[in-house]
Amino acid sequence: MSFPVLICDDSALARKQMARSLPATLNAEITFAVHGLDALEQLKKQSFKIMFLDLTMPELDGFGTLEAIKKHNIDVNVVVVSGDIQPKAKERVMALGAKAFLQKPIDQQALKQVLSELVLPTERNKAAYIPAAPVLSPALRRRDIYMEVANVSIGRAADALARHFDVFVHLPLPNVNIFEVSELHMALRDLSNNDQVSGVCQGFSGEGIAGEALVLLSDSSVSDLKKLMKIPADSDELEELELLMDVSNILVGSFLQGLGQQVEVRFFQSSPVLLGQHISIDSVINSTSGSFKKTMTFEVSYKIDGTSIRCDLLFMFVDESLPLLDNKLSYLMEDA
């Protein structure tokens, strides 16, 4: 007897990893969906015992998918598998009817525990030999791997921010691109919407992989941020500056932790440097024409729930770091 399972994730790597993590004894018959709307289509066509659902996806995210499942009374055990590990994200999905929450990258023990709760012993195949179910796994591209690695790291940074300020952070879909200098400038211009920004940069390195992080906070965000920090409104520029530096450092530090865990490198950030306060994006652009040709850039925009805080984060790995990073991530390609 086969066990129908639906895996819904926009990342090809994540779908593949999830499929591979399921124990053979489950004899799972796996169907893939690439976003929430796709998953709802599949749920209409046939019934599934378990659905593994990502949260951060295009078209319809995991929260929306859970709402739709609840609204249409679809009978399926949903296990949320996400890089968004904020306590409030977990609370929200459990309230929306999810049965369990697994953190990315998947821990085998945790998955085993969840499966033992959701799968009846009678549904398990006890046979000694099970012909391997042909899992039609999607082809992986280099970009898929970087996207998923970025996703998990971004989740860590959001969680750090959420815990530090006790807020809920809306997790964006990251962008990963290889940029030439001029393309990087175009990307920066796209971020700004003519608003004035404050910019902080911070270099980092680990085992020869070096890069720089850029944190841009729109001016309208700074006063809201002060409220979160409970700083008296009449405090001077100096404290605002320090707040800006601290927020940047927390975001950069926690992203690097998440990335470091996945590539097995310990990254060290150097001290944050202010590019400018209340400046136009053009003056930020002027300060990014350093000595590099190509950069791999991870772009993220965080928004904090109930505030107007918007924060753009760019992680740029330059020239000679790219092959090193590829090399460190090759384990994800190989076992595919």
Partner 1 sequence: MLNLPAEFEQFHWMVDMVQNVDLGLVVLDRDHNVQVWNGFMTHHSGIQAHDAIGKSLFELFPEIQPEWFKLKTKPVYDLGCRSFITWQQRPYLFKCRNVRPVTQQADFMYQNITLNPMRTPTGEIRSLFLSIQDATAEALASQA
Taking the complex as a whole, the smallest distance from the CB of residue 288 to partner 1 amounts, in Å, to: 20
If the CB atoms of residues 43 and 160 are measured against partner 1, the closer one turns out to be: 160
Among 12, 197, 253, 311, contact with partner 1 (rule: CB under 8 A): 253
- With binding defined as CB under 8 A, does residue 272 bind partner 1? yes
CB-based contacts of 239, cutoff 8 Å, min separation 6? 231
The CB-of-163 to partner 1 minimum distance in angstroms stands at 7
Provide the minimum distance between the beta carbon of 229 and partner 1 in the complex, in angstroms, as a whole number: 8
According to CB under 8 A, which one of 20, 142, 193, 268 is a site residue for partner 1?
Answer: 268
Residue-wise DSSP of 266-299: --EE---EEEEEEE-HHHHHHTT--S-SEEEEEE
Q: One-letter amino acid identity for 88?
A: K
Pick the stretch among 21-29, 31-39, 212-220, 242-250 that binds partner 1 (CB under 8 A): 242-250
CB of 228 to partner 1, least distance (A): 12
Pairing assessment for the beta strands 50-53 and 209-218 based on DSSP bridges: unpaired
246 sits near partner 1 (criterion: CB under 8 A): yes
Asked whether the bond before 4 is cis by omega within 30 degrees of 0, the reply is no
Give the one residue of 37, 68, 173, 274 binding partner 1; rule: CB under 8 A. Answer: 274
Question: Stretches 22-30, 35-43, 118-126, 254-262: which one binds partner 1 (CB under 8 A)?
Answer: 254-262
Closest alpha carbon to 150 in 178, 183, 173: 173
Q: Which of 241, 265, 285, 336 binds partner 1 (CB under 8 A)?
A: 241
Q: How far is the CB of 272 from partner 1 (least distance, A)?
A: 6
Of 256, 300, 316, 329, the one binding partner 1 (CB under 8 A) is: 256
Instruction: Using alpha carbons, select from 329, 237, 231, 326 the residue that is nearest to residue 276.
Output: 237
Sign of CA dihedral 313, 319, 273, 284: negative
- Type and span of the H or E element at 204: strand 197-206
If binding means CB under 8 A, how many residues of this protein chain bind partner 1? 20
- Binding range to partner 1, per CB under 8 A, among 109-117, 138-146, 184-192, 263-271: 263-271
What is the amino acid identity at position 101? F
* Position among 173, 245, 285, 322 found at the interface with partner 1 (CB under 8 A): 245
What is the distance between the alpha carbons of residues 314 and 300, in angstroms, rounded to a whole number?
A: 6
Q: Which residue has the tokens 């601290």?
A: 246
Instruction: State which of residues 59, 91, 123, 242 lies at the interface with partner 1 (CB under 8 A).
Output: 242
For residue 245, give every residue at least 6 positions away whose Cβ sits within 8 Å of its Cβ, in sequence order, or none.
200, 272, 274
CA distances from 224 to 199, 201, 232, 254, 309 (A): 17, 21, 12, 22, 6
Q: Quick one: which segment of 37-45, 264-272, 275-283, 310-318 binds partner 1 (CB under 8 A)?
A: 264-272
Question: Rounded CA gap, 308 and 89, in Å?
Answer: 19
- Touching partner 1, residues 211-240 (CB under 8 A): 238
Report yes or no: 25 and 125 within 8 Å, Cβ to Cβ.
yes
Q: Judged by CB, which is closer to partner 1: 46, or 283? A: 283
Q: Does 164 bind partner 1 (CB under 8 A)?
A: yes
**Which is nearer to partner 1, 37 or 274 (by Cβ)?**
274
Residue type, 150: A
Judged by CB under 8 A, which of 56, 65, 198, 254 binds partner 1?
254
Q: Which residues bind partner 1 (CB under 8 A)?
A: 160, 163-164, 238, 241-242, 245-246, 249-250, 252-254, 256-257, 268-269, 271-272, 274
